Structure 1
Amino acid sequence: MTGQKVWFITGAGRGIGSDLVTAALEAGHNVVATARDDVAVTAEVGEHERLLALAMDVTDPSAVDGAVRKALDRFGSIDVLINNAGRFYTGFFETLSPEQVRAQMEVNFFGTLHVTRAVLPVMRAQRRGHVVTVSALVGIVGAPFISIFAASKFALEGWMESITPEVAPFGITTTIVEPGAFRTKPPKDRGRTVFPEIAIEDYAEATKKHTESVKGFNGKEPGHRKKLASAFISIVDMKQPPKRWVAGDDAVEGIVAKGRQLIADATAFSELSTRLAHDD
């Protein structure tokens, strides 16, 4: 579909979410911008005749269903879904409580599923649509101190890759976006980061070091968010959008290296790996 579209964006109250709202409006699209607090959306991007700001918690399926109904009442369709809402739980695995682990998955993974489950019937009825899910470099490349955040993004990667052929017969395309580090606005966006609850002596020194590193990096990330938002518009406007789009020099470098490592791992023990079939 070309021309004006209806975008449904989650996590639109700050960060790249609010930048995407502004970019989509400037490109001439209608935008449904959702956040836990709808006032946060208008505080960031202002009022606009083509903007519908809605309060919506992605972990509440009834709230999601209500937001989708309001979007249809206002604009009549949903052409582009941007699954952007998320939280960042950081810490060594053993230092994150079970409650923190579940909370991470509830927002980043299950919340994304709730929203997509509500929007797909609309897109199927239209026989068109584009589902864009924001993953991360760490959805491909794991790293210490972010194991649970990475797990939530790895889960999104597998789910998105698998539903792509499921929804393709209905004219629905999908794109996984894998950004590297993009600059935040400290201290405001620092609220997205949740640190560990459990103190374990063996991890104490490393936890302190990594925590200081995370806090020190906030506001110094190499990526430019407005450039990222502009690139999103280009991706969505493509006649054949990519199934994956890697965003940022750091992400390209990291994912290319991971790809090479996967090939090396797959071929390292070929005699063991390829002689496991039945002989008959």
Structure 2
Amino acid sequence: MNGDTTGRVAVITGATGGVGAAVARTLSRAGYSLVLTAPSMDKLSALAAQLKGPCTVVEGNLSDESLPETLLYAALDRFGRCDICFNNGALFEAGIIETVDIERLSSMVRVNVEGSFRVAYVFVKHFVSEGAGHLVNVSSVLGSSVRPTPYAATQRAIEALSDALAAELVDSEVLVSCIQPGLVKTGLHHRWEIAREGAQGTGYPLEPEDFARMVLFILEQPGLRHKEEESAGAEISASEELAVGRDSNEAEAEVEEHRDSESAEEETSDAAEEGIVQDEI
């Protein structure tokens, strides 16, 4: 166990997928105490065993209305505080009009919009009551571009929510950030082949660890704590802003990172939070 702790406590949803697990490992190494949630307890336990610092795991789905409160109480019970919410769980569904499964599409909307909104408001309410805290929402480059997928609409909703919360909180010490990842190499791509690096303008995919460095930068860089930069609801494109030794234009991805919810084993409730065709992402 790492004795060099920051004293800060972070809750991470979608914790066992590629991005969520990378963020958990990075924050743990940096001295954060963590509360992790995902649908699979086996995967949560495996991730917890890799971490350097203290953590609590909570099995659950974002489709469960009670999960946000459960996560907050877990942080308060174990660590006595909660400073950060990394609002990351999501599901991806797609299909043409003639063949799309409307029930799965509706489940995506419930998880990506309603589930994420519930997480955001539960934690922001707590942060307001404490006078400080940081909500980090994860969206997508699709949320600010015109793409023929309903998934993009759910990500646009996360960005609009981030702007609305940040505007309401502009005079407080509560911070709101929204990160828009581009292409990130996650487990999703064992079904979806990643284009060759640099081919056809798709840019260079980021590793989940690249994205995790962005999250740590946001949480710890003093400049991003100023109200005009952070509480104004800055939307940050991971593919543009990450210092990974590439030109930012090269790093922008046309293919989007369909991110973190974790359990591929379950065909029903777990699948509602996991990603395309029940794949782990």
Normalised to the residue count of structure 1, the TM-score between the two structures is 0.73
1:250 Cα deviation (Å)? 11
Equivalent-residue separation in structure 2 for 1:118 and 1:238 (angstroms): 25
The aligned residue for residue 131 of structure 2 is 127
The aligned residue for residue 42 of structure 1 is 45
Q: Which segment is superposed worse, 239-248 or 215-224?
A: 215-224
C-alpha contact 1:14 1:41 (8 A) present in aligned 2:
no
The aligned residue for residue 271 of structure 2 is none
2:237 paired residue among 236, 246, 254: 246
2:111 paired residue among 85, 107, 117: 107
Equivalent-residue separation in structure 1 for 2:8 and 2:142 (angstroms): 30
The aligned residue for residue 223 of structure 1 is 206
CA separation of 1:126 and 1:182: change in aligned 2, threshold 3 A: same
For residue 103 of structure 2, what is the amino acid of its counterpart? E
C-alpha contact 1:86 1:107 (8 A) present in aligned 2:
yes
SS in 1 for 2:62: coil
1:190 Cα deviation (Å)? 5.5
4+ residue segments displaced more than 6 Å? 218-221
C-alpha contact 1:7 1:32 (8 A) present in aligned 2:
yes
CA separation of 1:166 and 1:93: change in aligned 2, threshold 3 A: farther
Give the number of aligned pairs.
230
C-alpha contact 1:132 1:174 (8 A) present in aligned 2:
yes
For residue 216 of structure 2, what is the amino acid of its counterpart? I
Normalised to the residue count of structure 2, the TM-score between the two structures is 0.73
Q: CA RMSD in A?
A: 3.0
Q: Which segment is superposed worse, 243-252 or 105-114?
A: 243-252
C-alpha contact 1:139 1:157 (8 A) present in aligned 2:
yes
The aligned residue for residue 266 of structure 1 is none
Equivalent-residue separation in structure 1 for 2:213 and 2:121 (angstroms): 27
SS in 1 for 2:170: helix
SS in 1 for 2:74: helix
Give the alignment of 1:17-166 within 5 angstroms.
17-46=20-49, 48=51, 49-144=53-148, 147-166=149-168
SS in 1 for 2:171: helix
C-alpha contact 1:33 1:54 (8 A) present in aligned 2:
yes
Give the percent of matched residue pairs that are identical in Structure 1 and Structure 2: 23
Higher relative contact order (CA closer than 8 Å, sequence separation 6+): 2
SS in 2 for 1:44: helix
For residue 228 of structure 1, what is the amino acid of its counterpart? F
**Unpaired segments of 5 or more residues in structure 1?**
192-213, 257-280
1:80 Cα deviation (Å)? 0.9
For residue 131 of structure 1, what is the amino acid of its counterpart? L
Equivalent-residue separation in structure 2 for 1:123 and 1:228 (angstroms): 25
